[in-house]
Structure 1
Amino acid sequence: MQILRYAAFTTDPAGGNPAGVVLDATGLTDSEMQAAAARVNYSESAFLLPRPDGDLDVRYFSPLAEVPFCGHATVAASVAHAAANGAGPLRLHTRAGLVEVSTTESEVGEITATLVSVTPRTEEISAEVRTALLSALRWDPADLDVVLPVRAAYAGAWHPVVAAGTRARLAELNYDFPALSDLMAEQGWTTIQLIHRESESVVHSRNPFPPGGVVEDPATGAAAAALGGYLRELGLVTLPAALTIYQGDDLGRPGVITVGIPTDPTAGIHITGHAVPID
């Protein structure tokens, strides 16, 4: 198989979130895809399987396990597909549901992808689980932004949203890896969406990802989509809204995720970003 390597949510191969991409994984077994993702050793790799109707099935694997949906690998795979086949619309059938993507190419050859997530939703987190989460993160309740409640959010995968009251608190990431990994496995969470909201339209984010064997994911499109749904459902943003999420700065891999939040409460969240090949 040919495994391409792309950095998503950036125009710099040294920035954003790297992903492995296989444009045609026809005939590969689950174990072969898992082994390939482990060799690539990025937070996720995407495996595209062309369908007779022109749509694509897609599977996402971290180095340790399959995940139902991954935003940055979707952007990377869509840009790689556009580079090989031309820009245009794509219909991706993920384990989480249908994700429609549009790709465009600029006059200077930069390719941008916009995906539309599945319908988002949120769930309350019990006081007991919230306490365990903050303990594993080594956060104190006083560190939280009281305007943004801790809640699990979904737009293809589950991510608890935990908002820091200050950007300085977000910059400190020193969590209990085994404890957080166990809790996330127990709750079915993919990453933790740690954020600091600078303003209604600007958010800084970090995403611990111990279930994937990764301390921190540099730019997380699925969590960004979940956050967009969370803000809409809880009435914490003026609709329709556009957010800019800055992620990866604390890792030295800066990335930018643009989030479009439609007014319709059942509409998917729009996630836009660049992606570039990694040499």
Structure 2
Amino acid sequence: MTQTPSAGSAEPLRYAAFTTDPAGGNPAGVVLDAAGLTDGQQLDVAARLGYSETAFLTAVPGAERNWTVRYFSPLAEVPFCGHATIAAAVALGERHGAGELLFETKAGPVPVEVTAVADGFSATLTSVPSSVEDAAPQDVAEALALLGWRPEDLDGRFPPRIGYAGARHLVLAAGTRERLAALDYDFDGLAALMRRLDLTTVQLVWEEDGATFHVRDPFPVGGIVEDPATGAAAAAFGAYLRRLRGLGTARLTLHQGEDLGRPGVLTVDLLDGDPRIRVTGRAVRI
């Protein structure tokens, strides 16, 4: 089975990731043949679509089911994007069938498993090795001020940290669901702080139970107020929670996009002894 994209595949496709409803989840652009596009042209396509990210794929010569993938927000390139990875993998599954893919990203190699389900495809990405680092107290204080949060709004069981699984995300845990729902922040100020700290999003979380979380992701550095369903941040949060709670093999369910009217579900799997994080979701053509 050939991986050569069909005619017209340089035109962007539109998918909603981490959902089966085109009106839910996180919209992503997918360009299946970006070989002839310059960096500027890719950025122009991403800006024209206006989605938080667009994935641009180029087939690796002689390596079946391997692609080089780049991700652009409307403002800049990012090293890795989870929801656009899921969207691109489902798009490839629809054309080439289920199976294993390898995406060569600027963050490193990302294996993706595409699985046929009753009414389409799901995809599971395996992140690059993850890590967690402390967040400087002064940076946390600045982030809280820009978000309009008070220190007492935080859940003290979840100390602020920076998680990484292909991109850096500051994790802040809200003490209540109401605090998470009320998102109104200084767009330019938070963007400046995030650029200084090399953050892709701020991962705001609230724990429903030990394995279920509600999350939101401000994304001003990408020119987007909020990312509706964020696979890279989900992977970073998996790394964070594993470190915090000493988890081995575990599964987490993250609900995102509810407060935007675009609900999505992200499944995060941790495997004992493996520093990589697995994130699974559906995607559907818009």
**Class of the TM-score when normalised by the shorter of the 2 chains:** over 0.9
Q: Distance in 2 between matches of 1:131 and 1:192?
A: 13
What is residue 198 of structure 1 aligned with on the other side? 208
Give the match for residue 67 of structure 1: 78
Instruction: State the secondary structure of the residue aligned to 1:83.
Output: helix
C-alpha distance in structure 1 between counterparts of 2:249 and 2:182, whole Å: 32
Counterpart residue type for residue 6 of structure 1? Y
User: Which position in structure 2 is the counterpart of 1:121?
Assistant: 131
Counterpart contact for 2:18–2:25, Cα < 8 Å: yes
Q: What root-mean-square deviation, in Å, do the aligned CA atoms of Structure 1 and Structure 2 show?
A: 0.9
Question: What letter corresponds to residue 187 of structure 1 in structure 2?
Answer: L
Instruction: Quote the residue 2:5 is aligned against.
Output: none
Query: Following the alignment from structure 2 to structure 1, what is the Cα–Cα distance between the partners of residues 247 and 127?
Result: 20
* Structure 1, unaligned runs of 5 or more: none
Name the SS for the 1:159 alignment partner: strand
Q: Does 1:21 align with 2:21?
A: no
User: In 2, distance between residues paired with 1:268 and 1:127?
Assistant: 27
1:262 to 267, 271, 274: 271
Q: Within 2, Cα distance between the matches of 1:16 and 1:96?
A: 24
Structure 1 runs of 4+ with >2 Å offset: none
Per the alignment, residue 222 of structure 1 pairs with 232
Distance of 1:119 and 1:69 partners within structure 2: 13
Q: Does 1:182 align with 2:192?
A: yes
Q: Which amino acid aligns with 2:74?
A: P
Tell me, yes or no, if structure 1 residue 274 matches structure 2 residue 285. Answer: no
The residue matched to 2:205 in structure 1 has which SS? strand
State percent identity of aligned pairs. 55
2:55 aligned with 1:31 = no
* 1:12 equivalent in structure 2: 21
Inter-partner Cα distance in structure 1 for 2:103 and 2:120: 22
User: In the aligned structure 2, how far is the partner of 1:122 from the partner of 1:237?
Assistant: 13
Aligned length: 275
CA distance in 1, matches of 2:207, 2:246: 11
Q: Give distance in 2, aligned partners of 1:199 and 1:120.
A: 23
The two structures have a TM-score, normalised by structure 1, of 0.97
Q: How far 1:237 moved relative to its partner?
A: 5.7
**Aligned partners of 1:98 and 1:118 also within 8 Å:** yes
Q: Which amino acid aligns with 1:77?
A: A
Point out the more displaced range, 248-257 or 119-128: 119-128
Task: Please give the TM-score of this superposition, normalised by the length of structure 2.
Answer: 0.95
Match of 1:142 in 2: 152
**1:109, distance to aligned residue in structure 2 (A):** 3.0
8 Å CA contact retained: 1:8, 1:73: yes
Query: 3-state SS of the aligned residue for 1:148?
Result: coil
Q: Distance in 1 between matches of 2:11 and 2:192?
A: 34
Query: Are the equivalent residues in 2 in contact too, given 1:208–1:215 (CA < 8 A)?
Result: yes
CA displacement 1:107-157 (0-9 Å, x = unmatched): x33210000001110111111111111111110000001010001110000
CA–CA distance in 2 between the matches of 1:142 and 1:17? 31
Contact 2:14 2:29 in 1 (8 A): yes
